[in-house]
Amino acid sequence: MKANILLNVEVVSQKNGRRHGLVKSLVVVDHVVKYLVINPGGIFSQAQFFKPENIVDVNYKRLVIENEKVIIKAKGKKVKTYLDEAFPLMDYPVVDKNEEAFGHVVNATIEEGTFAITEYEISRSFFDDIDHGFAIIPATDLVYKEQVLYYEKEMFDLGFKKQGTGIANKLLGVR
């Protein structure tokens, strides 16, 4: 499953149909989705998140969880205890082994059941995405440290250039 399916969908309890808000972020630790963060709305609302194992069903419009008891509600400092060593998945910066920033995460492939990320889709630039598409990097080639994802090779490595075709190729047939 693609990570973007889990974002911006309404969270609903299966038991009573209560709506809890929209999923605003995926929290990842060691290439595994650990929590989905809910934006319940309101200025003074607490942080709310739940584990992906509690998902009963998901589609592009809504995500169904067992019941509202699986939602963790926490304030300020308590949130850090849950989310320590974690990073939000989308728009996360990626640098190569020479510490050259070359892109950011735009999507990921998640294994159903384990919620492990097998590969990341990286956007290098708007024009490169149009010409060549997103770069696809296996999760095993990326390491999280110091709030950055490090690619274990150089950004121009031949293995990195093998990627899907871009919008120009798909729509216009440009080669």
Task: Note the pTM of the prediction, 2 decimals.
Answer: 0.76
48-51-55-60 Cα dihedral, nearest 10 degrees: 60
Domain ranges, ordered by start, for the chain: 3-88, 93-172
Token pair recorded at residue 39: 């934006």
CATH assignment, 93-172: 2.30.30.240
CA nearest to 149, candidates 109, 96, 90: 96
> What's the confidence (pLDDT) of residue 59?
82
Single-letter amino acid code for the residue at 107: N
Can you give the pLDDT at residue 110?
93
Handedness of CA 21, 22, 27, 33 (dihedral sign): positive
pLDDT the model gives residue 162: 44
Could you say which architecture CATH assigns to the domain 3-88? Roll (2.30)
Q: Write down the pLDDT at residue 175.
A: 47
What are the angstrom distances between the C-alpha of 96 and each of 106, 129, 131, 155?
Answer: 17, 18, 21, 6
Return the pLDDT at 167: 55
Q: Tell me what pLDDT residue 96 has.
A: 84
CB half-sphere exposure, 126, CA atoms < 13 A: 0
- 3-88 against 93-172: fold identical: yes
Q: According to the model, what pLDDT value does residue 62 have?
A: 87
State the pLDDT at residue 158. Answer: 38
CB 122 within 8 A of CB 134: yes
Q: What's the pLDDT score for residue 157?
A: 61
Q: How far is CA 151 from CA 34, 58, 116, in A?
A: 22, 31, 18
> Can you tell me whether residue 20 is helix, strand or coil?
strand
Q: What is the pLDDT along the chain (175 residues), one digit of tens a residue?
A: 888 888 888 988 888 888 888 888 888 888 999 988 888 766 656 778 889 999 988 887 888 988 888 888 877 666 666 666 666 777 788 888 888 888 888 889 999 889 999 998 888 766 665 555 678 889 998 888 877 888 887 766 635 444 555 555 555 554 4
Residue 164: what pLDDT?
A: 54
